[in-house]
Amino acid sequence: MTSPEATETERPSGVARTLVITAAVLAVLLLGAAIGLLVKLPGSTTSAAPASGSVDVGFCQDMSVHHLQGIQMANIARDRTTDPDVRQLAFDIASTQLEQVGRMKGWLMMWNEHEQSPNGVYMSWMNDAGIHGHGATTAEPGKPLMPGMATTDELTKLRGLSGRDLEVYFLQLMIRHHTGGAPMAEFAAHRAGQPFVRTLADNMLKSQTSELDVMKDLLAKRGAAPLP
């Protein structure tokens, strides 16, 4: 009994060896295929149009929606304020963001993508696999669509204000708006596939950071503090 066992360990049959090797190769191939399916290298989509759900598409769609509300608030402030500083700031924000929205929508059109999320789900692109976004938000009546965005009630309140109250509330809402949008811009500045999308996102991040300082300053001059 002992001798055949010993022989066996010394020289395993060819069939068994082939089986083990085949299995190992198969396992490696399967794992490789799985990794290939799941992993998207950053920058791997530079030549072709980015896919739906990609960082490029998601950022352009969602940042357009985010920007459009910023423009809305700036236009309200510009229509209603008498303060030259606030009016100038509002014009700057509205015109810059509108121009940026135009760029993003132009790209989306070239890529044959919607201008905005067609199903009310936002920020689902802010993760790595692009499948379940941990940062994803779904539209709910009465709630802001994305971080930093104002609710319908807050916009209505802004429309009803004038004078110092208007300026303070506008600055508070806009500070929160800029701050809330920053993580999106930051994510896209690093993860977008198209270099021009990364450039725009990076630019937003920088210009809005300096705009935030200006707004905090204007707010402090009016003896008010940012929203909690």
Partner 1 sequence: MVSGKKTKATRSSVAAARSSVVASKPKPWGTIIAVIAVLGLAGGVFGYAYSQIHANNVKEAALAKWKPSDTNKDPSTQLAGIVIKEYKGSRHVEPTQRVAYDQTPAFGGPHDSQWADCTGVVYDKAVRTENMVHGLEHGAVWIAYNPDQVKDDALNKLKAKAEGQQYTMLSPFPGLDKPISLQSWGHQLKVDNADDERIDQFISSLRRNPNTYPEVGASCENSQFLANPAPFVAEKPGADAVPMDGGKDESKTEGQQPNMSTPPPSGSASTPPSS
Instruction: Kindly list the residues in this chain that would bind partner 1 in the complex (CB under 8 A).
Output: 4-5, 8, 12-13, 16, 19-20, 23-24, 26-28, 30-31, 33-35, 37-38, 51-53, 64-65, 68-69, 71-72, 75-76, 79, 102, 109, 112-116, 118-120, 129-131, 139-142, 144-145, 149, 151-152, 159
What minimum distance in Å lies between the beta carbon of 69 and partner 1? 8
Nearest to 45 by CA among 133, 121, 125, 100: 125
Q: Which residues, other chains included, contact 150 with Cβ-Cβ below 8 Å and sequence gap of 6+?
A: 69, 73, 144, 158, 173, 176, 177
What minimum distance in Å lies between the beta carbon of 15 and partner 1? 10
What minimum distance in Å lies between the beta carbon of 101 and partner 1? 10
Phi, psi of 154 (to 5 degrees): -65, -40
What the block records as the tokens of 149 is: 């965005």
User: 169 vs 198, which CB is nearer to partner 1?
Assistant: 169
User: 16 vs 227, which CB is nearer to partner 1?
Assistant: 16
Element (H, E) at 138: strand 137-138
Contact yes or no for 94/71 (Cβ under 8 A): yes
Phi, psi of 151 (to 5 degrees): -85, 170
User: 37 vs 41, which CB is nearer to partner 1?
Assistant: 37
User: 2 vs 47, which CB is nearer to partner 1?
Assistant: 2
